[in-house]
Structure 1
Amino acid sequence: MTSEATKLTGKLLIETAVGNFLGDKRIRLLEAIDEHGSISQAAKAVPFSYKAAWDAVDAMNNLAPEPLVSRAAGGRHGGGTELTPFGRRLIAFYRALEQEYQLALEKLTGNLEQDVAVDTAGFRQILRRMSMKSSARNQFAGPVVALKEGAVDTEVSIRLDADLTLTAIVTRESAEGLGLAEGRDVLAFVKASSIVLVVEEDARISARNRFRGTIADIHEGPVNAEVTINLPGGRHVITAVITDASVGRLGLAVGQPVTAVFKASSVFLVATE
């Protein structure tokens, strides 16, 4: 019989082809959205702050192959919010996988107890160190659709959506090490501080990545502001961190068209299995 002192328990965190995007707290957020039909009520139920809840929804919609949450008319701060059929299927998949995960941990616990030389605490530490996390605010997933090799660097094009392609520049050595090839799924990370916002649609800019969208939210702080932009297609969002002074100088407001610009060299790639 397994003793409580050595019983292993854990929360399932999915870090597969769509990256570190789905865990127990986010699943509970999705379940609460399905129950309440409101992001504010769902955030209180989990609990999340209102902003953290929307950030989590944006991240999941960015990385999932299909949208998990849809917004009804009324904008980011109004209207209803509901799960898509894909979102409901994902919850069911996660809960079923979670049960299998716990059964596996219980079996592992039994095996560990048969060998008194095994350090359970040390084993838990190894498990914690195995997870990868990224501080980059913007995370995207998609297949490589083109590679252009140069003498030193390789230009990598990643399809995020039918009409949305992201470009990254990595060294040839890195491209080879990641095993990059057309059709290979990758994760693309971009820091919010690397993104520049441009109001003029026809501005001449040298940066390769230029995503025109609509401002969905502006969260102002003491010095900097976080600006969230809905991209074409309705699924992806991108977040930039700029100064409060820049928000005022550009006259930024929710609902305003704006272009998010960032260099291909600012994109960090991770190849998935």
Structure 2
Amino acid sequence: MDQTTPHTRLLGKLEVNTEFGLFLGDTRIRLLKEIDRHGSISQAAKHVPMSYKAAWDAVDAMNNLSEAPLFDRTTGGKHGGGTKLTEYGRTVIHLYQALAEQYQSSLDRLAERMRDLEGSDIREFQSLLRRMSMKTSARNQFVGSVTGLREGGVDFEVRLRIDPENELVAVITRESAEYLDLRIGGEVHAFVKSSSVLLLTDPAGRTSARNHLWGTVSRIHHSAVNSQVTLQLSAGKTVTAVITH
């Protein structure tokens, strides 16, 4: 008796690595839609659903990786303020939806071809995808253009402009610089762990840190052991620090 294996459809969740960086995914797009619908991050978080803190973290991450503001925030006023999407934010949603449709169509076609592959081939392919997926625990992620490269004996100093007013300086190994193929004007990502951020209230305060980013405190989240402090920078960027009590 001839038996056939039931065909299972492949369903994909799209993450988009555009020129703006890896910042678009299914959950974040749902958050954008709910913010546009409700005009409130707290209400949007309830409908996604996700925690209020996770929603704010996602908003900060997307704004930091975007070339233009995704959100228009207002404070005070008759209705107590809120958050709305900019036209650019709505364009991002439409872009993602169009790509997601094409992505699913491609998966459907791939599934048809994979029916002829042996099981070991499929497992090897899945293993390769897992190895190629990049994840980072760094809380602060920035994208910008390289404005300066200075070669040292064993390392490179890299200057990165993240917005019209702020630059970051990083020191990396020669091997890393060659691997990344760094060039003036090229686009790169900078990752900064929140535990590595120092907070000062006096602009004249002395510190050995090379990178100084000045902003206003926009949010504080307290826990039993530490507090997460988020600073609002220019051009909608944010930087978050974790400090112990």
TM-score (normalizing by structure 1): 0.83
> How far apart are residue 116 of structure 1 and its match?
4.7
1:25 corresponds in structure 2 to 27
The one-letter amino acid of 1:128's match is: R
Distance of 1:178 and 1:121 partners within structure 2: 30
- In structure 2, what is the Cα distance between the partners aligned to 1:117 and 1:56? 37
Structure 2 distance, partners of 1:56, 1:86, is: 17
Aligned-partner residue type, residue 241 of structure 2: A
Does the residue aligned with 2:203 lie in a helix, a strand or coil?
Answer: coil
* Alignment correspondent of 1:46: 48
Q: Does 1:155 align with 2:149?
A: no
Distance verdict in 2 for CA 1:146–1:34, change over 3 Å: same
Contact 2:146–2:187 (Cα < 8 Å) also in 1: yes
The within-5 A match list for 1:48-197 is 48-74=50-76, 79-116=81-118, 119-197=121-199
CA RMSD of aligned residues (A): 1.9
In 2, distance between residues paired with 1:117 and 1:218?
50
Aligned residue pair count: 240
Give the 3 Å change call, closer, same or farther, for CA 232–116 of structure 1 in structure 2: closer
Q: Which runs of 5+ in 1 are unaligned?
A: 245-273
Cα distance in 2 for residues equivalent to 1:152 and 1:127: 33
- The one-letter code matched in structure 2 to 1:6 is T
Partner of 2:39: 37
- Separation in 1, partners of 2:159, 2:200: 22
Closer, same or farther: CA 117–243 of 1 in aligned 2, 3 Å: closer
Q: Which moved more, 1:46-55 or 1:9-18?
A: 9-18
User: Which residue is equivalent to 1:241?
Assistant: 242
CA contact under 8 A between 2:163 and 2:234: conserved in structure 1?
Answer: no
- TM-score normalised by the chain length of structure 2: 0.92
1:195-210 matches, within 5 Å, as 195-210=197-212
Structure 2 alignment gaps of length 5 or more = none
Q: 3-state DSSP class of the match of 1:54?
A: helix
In the alignment, is the contact (CA less than 8 A) between 1:61 and 1:236 conserved in 2?
yes
- Partners in 1 of 2:31 and 2:233 — Cα distance? 23
For residues 7 and 83 of structure 2, the distance between their equivalents in structure 1, rounded to whole angstroms, comes to: 43
Contact 1:20 1:132 (8 Å CA) reproduced: no
Shift of 1:120: 3.9
Secondary structure in structure 1 of the residue aligned to 2:168: strand
TM superposition shift of 1:71:
0.7
Which amino acid is 1:99 matched to? E
Q: CA deviation at 1:150?
A: 1.5
- State which drifts further: 80-89 or 18-27: 18-27
CA contact (8 A) 1:6 1:120 kept: no
How far 1:73 moved relative to its partner?
2.2
Quote the Cα distance in structure 2 between the aligned partners of 1:126 and 1:175.
25
- The 1-side partners of 2:186 and 2:105 are apart by 33
The match for 1:251 is none
CA contact (8 A) 1:149 1:155 kept: yes
Give identity over the alignment, percent.
54
CA distance in 2, matches of 1:168, 1:104: 39
Higher RCO (CA-CA < 8 Å; seq separation 6+): 1
